[in-house]
């Protein structure tokens, strides 16, 4: 079994020591040429159901415990495919998925099937044990990182109004009182500072005008990688967020202020959560603010004239742009008003200006 045990199954470097190169706006995993935006793997983990992966391991563990020589080879290969499908590892462990899709006879040959089964039952515990640790780490990440992000960004302004200052991610963490939690991979669950276990180097990646200095790190644990990915993402403006409509996590890119994901909304015939949210927010604005109501009444009136041909589209577009500025200025003044009389004065003035060409 030395050939099977070492040459055929020894994927030591690829599944226990992952190389990642971190650049200005993303990172590269192993030899995969596509850059991954910061927060990609964490977002995937936060949305992941680990139940199917645990079932694959449980089936293998049962076959090993019961010494089921018939089921152990298939259970092992299915587990191996599952491992190669986990976040981060699925980016480069294509061989695991390829071998997992093969028939047993194609993988080891009929003549060594029994030897393969003995190897799985009596010797091979490294990959299953490693996969079990990844599932455990994923569950910790789902618990702690969701807790951290939910609390830090509970009162954040993501749908920023005109003139409203948006706090940086670091400022949000500080103002929420969670700055101490960024010091360890468990985000405060471990009372000690559980620092990531990494080795780092630097090199130039790319050529000529595309050259940049990247930080090359090696990770033996998924938990360490996710911690570094999150913190580097926070430095650069990448952060996973919960969709305010469906509750799933999506990756917020730098400069964006979405509260909703771009995925299809449940039960909405293909409309995305972002489309649903934009409509809902707009209706809420109009219903709850008299400045918005005045603007919409005037907008509908003049838009109807363009449909009838009594007002040119060019004149309407000029009016529309000017009135958007007028509306936004009035909204800021309306928000600062300290009495109902003052708010009513603002509404009356803006209504007169909106209805005067």
Angle between the 290-308 and 273-288 helix axes, to the nearest 10 degrees?
Answer: 110
Q: Are 186 and 144 in contact (CB under 8 A)?
A: yes
Q: Which of 40-54, 168-182, 236-250, 337-351 has the highest mean pLDDT?
A: 40-54
**What's the Rg (C-alpha) of the chain?**
28
pLDDT band at 156; cut points 50, 70, 90: low
State the DSSP code for 166. P
Q: Are 137 and 221 in contact (CB under 8 A)?
A: yes
Q: Which residue's structure tokens are 């299953």?
A: 128
pLDDT at res. 280: 54
62-108 pLDDT tens trace:
999 999 988 888 999 999 999 999 999 999 998 888 887 877 766 66
Residue 266, pLDDT > 90, answer no
State the DSSP code for 148. H
pLDDT at res. 33: 92
Q: Average pLDDT, stretch 216-239?
A: 94
What is the β-pairing status of strands 36-37 and 26-29? antiparallel
Cα separation of 259 and 277, whole Å? 8
pLDDT band at 9; cut points 50, 70, 90: very low
Q: Average pLDDT, stretch 270-274?
A: 79
Q: Are 71 and 44 in contact (CB under 8 A)?
A: no
Nearest to 99 by CA among 112, 118, 80: 80
**Residues making up the chain, counted from first to last:** 357
Residue predicted with more confidence, 356 or 268: 356
Q: Is the pTM of this model over 0.75?
A: no
């Amino acid at each position: 079994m030395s050939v099977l045990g070492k040459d055929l199954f020894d994927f030591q470097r690829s599944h226990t020591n992952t190389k990642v190169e971190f650049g200005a706006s993303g990172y590269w995993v192993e030899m995969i040429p596509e850059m991954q935006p910061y927060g990609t793997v964490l977002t995937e983990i936060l949305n992941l159901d680990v139940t199917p992966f645990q079932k694959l391991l449980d089936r293998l563990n049962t076959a090993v415990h019961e010494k089921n020589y018939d089921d152990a080879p298939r259970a092992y290969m299915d587990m191996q495919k599952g491992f190669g499908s986990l976040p981060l590892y699925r980016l480069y462990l294509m061989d695991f998925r390829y071998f997992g899709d093969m028939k047993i006879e194609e993988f080891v040959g009929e003549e060594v099937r029994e030897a393969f089964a003995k190897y799985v039952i009596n010797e091979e515990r490294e990959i299953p044990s490693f996969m079990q640790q990844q599932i455990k780490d994923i569950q910790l990440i789902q618990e702690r990182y969701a807790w951290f992000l939910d609390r830090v960004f509970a009162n954040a302004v993501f749908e920023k109004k005109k003139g409203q200052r948006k706090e940086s991610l670091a400022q949000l963490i500080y103002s929420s009182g969670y700055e101490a939690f960024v010091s360890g991979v468990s985000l405060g669950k471990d009372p000690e500072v559980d620092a990531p276990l990494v080795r780092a180097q630097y090199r130039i990646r790319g050529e000529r005008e595309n050259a940049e200095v990247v930080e090359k790190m090696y990770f033996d644990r998924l938990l360490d990688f996710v911690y570094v990915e999150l913190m580097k993402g926070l430095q650069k403006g990448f952060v996973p967020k919960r969709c305010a409509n469906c509750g799933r996590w999506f990756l917020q890119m730098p400069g964006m202020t979405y509260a909703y994901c771009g995925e299809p909304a449940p039960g909405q015939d293909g409309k995305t959560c972002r489309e649903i949210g934009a409509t809902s927010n707009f209706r809420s604005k109009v219903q709850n603010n008299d400045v918005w109501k005045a603007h919409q009444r005037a907008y509908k009136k003049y838009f109807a004239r363009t449909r009838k041909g009594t007002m040119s589209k060019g004149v309407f577009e000029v009016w529309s742009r000017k009135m958007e500025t007028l509306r936004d200025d009035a909204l800021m003044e309306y928000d600062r008003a300290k009495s109902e009389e003052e708010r009513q004065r603002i509404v009356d003035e803006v209504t007169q200006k909106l209805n005067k060409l």
